[in-house]
Amino acid sequence: MEKKNFTVTAVGKYGLEILNRISGLYLQKNIPVSSLLFTRGENGTGSYRLEVEAPENTMARTILQMKNIVDIKDVNYYTNK
């Protein structure tokens, strides 16, 4: 399966434990992460942005699992052209 570069963005509660849950998911699935940006927003919110390389179907499944993280509100991803 051809690997592509993706940008993943997630928003939810701000917290290191959430960052750890996200990075742990990519670690468990052995998906390389080339960059990770973690920002604190207003009212306790946080945004998470990752640059990753993975096959498209793996990415789709991983996004669904990210959405399962309790304090994550929304996740999106797109291919980097």
User: What does the binding site for another protein look like in residue numbers (CB under 8 A)?
Assistant: 17, 20-21, 24, 28, 61, 64-65, 67-68, 70-71
Q: How far is the CB of 81 from another protein (least distance, A)?
A: 25
Residue with tokens 């291919």: 79
- Which residue lies nearer to another protein by CB, 70 or 81? 70
Alpha-carbon gap, residue 75 to 64, rounded angstroms: 8
Secondary structure (3-state) at 20: helix
Give min distance, CB of 71 to another protein, in A: 8
What's the gap between Cα 1 and its chain centre? 20
